[in-house]
Chains A and B, each alone.
Chain A
């Protein structure tokens, strides 16, 4: 997949999943969509555009295991790039089909509103204003494989014959 350009929305450390997808909203996505990250940036839910990126600090997506990445994907976010990510959020979100790159030092190199270029396969992030390129940590091979199939559901369908629990065509 080729590199994509977009605008960065920046967030600090320890952004929790409840602040992305509010408690009790899993069965009520309409109202959840309006409140995404409102506690940390009230503008975000209204102004985020398809193709934008989230650039965040340490431990992004901490706390509850709810699939909060799905609501970011539906908001049009193309990738989350953070200093580090909570394990559950990281695994969930790649499986949803939305990449999360752990890129130590990123928050010092990208400001809110900066245009960045992200290459998921190469794990690189370029700040178009400064020209500086940062290298993210290596993504586990299995997640890249899942991502290439569009996420977990595509990955399962593509390997259908490996499951005794599925009817075969």
Chain B
């Protein structure tokens, strides 16, 4: 028996097998099910008829405030009312309502996932929870069935190993490194694959910064993206995990479909240009592009480290008169931490708009729509056609680079402000 990857070991344990091989279909027990907008799944329940409850109300988590901090029209308000009613009716115990934040941060912060767990979620960025060693994979339509059975099927994926070593230069963040990796692997380089991240660079990152890597795995087509839990994760989980757990670790002789080894120490600031999150360029190649909106937030930029980085640039400076800067903390806990560190004052004094926690203008479903011909730079994960209206362009970058663009009115190297 050859060694197993982290992905294979978690899938084997959850499906009651000794080992699994790529290509095999397994049916696994699910430890957590995340949903942001389950209204049409509840309509499925009505069509099925006679639904008594979900399989385990403690394991189903609904983040009704993921896409909006308040409904912006009556259609949305009605949809949220329907979700609240459905959660009560079907015994779903965890409903994060308006203004509580982005579901992916909440899943980890509130201990709904743990190392070695299997989570599925209706949002494609569900891969996020891999940052603590949880196998987390997106599935949307099928979450109706998972709610009833507590099980999900998986095609065991081949695994890509990404080893990251070294220390980045000042002004280069985890987002720059993750953007670089995404550019190398490409939009379908991890299609139907798992991606595991390791190396001294990863282990020095906070949990929220690790999440940028696990989360962006979905932009490579990956089924899941994760790293092994370490002391940092285990200490974090002690206070938060909703149940006792036994972490899973990879075998030293595990087999990988591909191994990428990257030294981050010479890396320069990166940017994704429209219209693909994986269209990676050096920031230097797009310097001078004028922006009308700068957004610090989203599931790859709403963490406390992201807020600190952006604030470092904004301290004592003003947002350019032609730019709207929007700052959106990922959760209330992150917002509280921003307040206690004085970051809220820094952004407010700079002229930035601070909203309650939610997904922000990553896709235009709440506030912050772009006008035709406008350009946005942001720390969020996506810039694809159809997300920001007609005739718009989105650049994705680090919190340093996004804040620097807000100050300069154009894309510019943030290091001149550090």
Contacts and interface: CB of A to CB of B under 8 A. Distances in A.
Contacts, number: 129
A14 B187 contact: yes
A141 B140 contact: no
Given A59-B187, A140-B25, A157-B48, A23 B387 contact: yes
B217 to A, nearest CB: 11
B265 interface: no
Nearest to A164: B55
Interface in B141-162: 141-142, 144-145, 147-149, 153, 155
A27 B67 CA distance: 13
B225 to A, nearest CB: 13
Contact of B138 (A27, A88, A157, A163): A88
B373 interface: no
Interface string A154-168: 011100001111111
Given A26-B37, A39-B385, A95 B142 contact: yes
Interface in B114-151: 122-124, 126, 138-142, 144-145, 147-149
Interface residues of A, number: 43
Contacts of B48: 153, 156-157, 166
Given A140-B25, A163-B149, A19 B386 contact: yes
A110 B51 CA distance: 45
Interface of A: 13-14, 16, 18-19, 22-24, 26-28, 39, 58-59, 62-67, 84, 86-88, 91-92, 95-96, 140-142, 152-153, 155-157, 162-168
B363 interface: yes
Contacts of A166: 48, 50-52, 148
Nearest to B142: A95
A59 B139 contact: no
B198 interface: no
B382 to A, nearest CB: 7
B47 interface: yes
Contact of B191 (A18, A59, A152): A59
Contacts of A86: 188, 191, 221
Contact of A167 (B52, B139, B363): B52
Contacts of A84: 188, 191
